[in-house]
A and B are shown apart, each in its own frame.
Chain A
């Protein structure tokens, strides 16, 4: 069974339909890359998987998204639990104005974990997984904003990992990062997919090739093509896909 199953998803901002009926299955422990030019609905699609779109006034989805077979919009679903299961990393590093430690401990504390030693274990484990522990281990009480952009973004990944999620959504996580930080971050993703299902909006198609197992190409709110990365990039079925990945538009 697919980890996440999207069925006939339509999405509206007010009366403006931005996603026109997408169906897509995401398998467990794979990295799916959502590629496509700007305004294709990629960020919106990501935000509908953890229902973060609900913060935007006038935003509305139709269709169904299931996580392990359960409808995420069912009234029995706790939205806070859903968001703990489906963590999100944003396109720019978004440390909260707290210390490094408090940023990573933010999620666990919300669910009532206040034991300092427990938190320390979780924080260290998460920072190690995100490959940023060595950079920050001696300065955990310093402000998170004192870190470099790349370190901040890996801190944000650690903050999501501390939730012990099942799915991680990454919305162009490397757009503000230098090449070295990008390489480090991509390296962590390879490690992480052993335990997590990852949906990433890469910041370019090369990154999709480097990190993803499968890829979905969206254009203007339509899903054009989806499949294993090796197939889509080598033998695209749709001419629009080949035009996009060869850089003829977008």
Chain B
């Protein structure tokens, strides 16, 4: 290596290090700021009481329950349909205009703003199907929103499973379904889970799509037909209307903790499942 090469090495290293450092500082600063403002608000009462006085006092229990219910409905719909479609595209069909159309739609849908899903959900579920503002309307709308993500990440994960696994499985007398369920799916599981975790995060953090479909009710939801307010919407309303910045930060801190916990739990679960393999 001559001196010139060495200088270039040093400059490249400096640029890459500073980029990483910059990102690290920004990200930790945001999280630290929110946690610093929000953590002092968090206590048992905040977690277990329903909001009173528009959220000025009381807790946020009903919004936690609402968030979890809406997200659960979205996942129950989107996971089977999304992963099923991904397996169809990757394993059960040849390339044709139909698969191209499906992929093109999924890619386009992945990019559109969530408010458009909200408007669609409002017109279709809330008004046309008369589901009113409810956990169900919100969950269904969110399931449509995350479907493209789940399809695309799952299809990619399935395609990246080595062909030899399929050949070996078939050569050992497996049927197509046995090959897919026993050899391909376990190997694609990590990639599929990543897509699902990403989608859970988007559901929990979503405001525009749920505010139009699940509503903003502060009562504790009792069924999937109850209207509800999710944590992200609660945060938005508290901050936007200047009701209580303290409680808004408390909600935001809990949102961050919740998403962090879901990541940790889901990854730990996948790791346990994968322990035997690799």
Residues on A lying within 8 angstroms of B by beta carbon are 50, 52, 55, 57, 80-81, 83-84, 87-88, 90, 92, 94, 96-99, 102, 106-107, 109-111, 141, 143, 145, 156, 159-160, 163
Contacts and interface: CB of A to CB of B under 8 A. Distances in A.
Contacts of B166: 55
B173 A96 contact: no
A83 B179 CA distance: 14
A97 B278 contact: yes
B172 A87 contact: yes
From B164, B169, B171, B175, residue with most partner A Cβ within 10 Å: B171
Contact of A90 (B167, B173, B175): B167
A81 B173 contact: yes
Nearest to B168: A94
A55 B167 contact: yes
Given A83-B170, A83-B173, A106-B169, 6 more contacts: A55-B167, A96-B169, A97-B277, A98-B186, A98-B277, A109-B182
B137 interface: no
A143 B278 CA distance: 6
A143 B171 contact: no
A173 to B, nearest CB: 13
Contacts of A50: 171
Contacts of A98: 186, 276-277
Chain B at the A interface: SS class? helix
B173 A163 contact: yes
B144 interface: no
B85 to A, nearest CB: 22
Nearest to B172: A107
Interface string B173-186: 11100100011001
B165 interface: yes
From B168, B175, B183, residue with most partner A Cβ within 10 Å: B168
A123 to B, nearest CB: 14
A57 to B, nearest CB: 8
Given A94-B164, A97-B186, A141 B169 contact: no
B171 A97 contact: no
B169 A88 contact: no
B187 interface: yes
A62 B166 CA distance: 25
Contacts of B186: 97-98
13 contacts: A55-B170, A83-B170, A83-B172, A87-B171, A90-B164, A90-B168, A96-B277, A97-B277, A99-B276, A109-B182, A111-B173, A143-B278, A159-B172
A88 B278 CA distance: 22
Given A99-B277, A143-B276, A143-B277, A110 B167 contact: no
Interface in B150-198: 164-175, 178, 182-183, 186-187
Contacts of B187: 97
B277 A163 contact: no
A55 B276 CA distance: 28
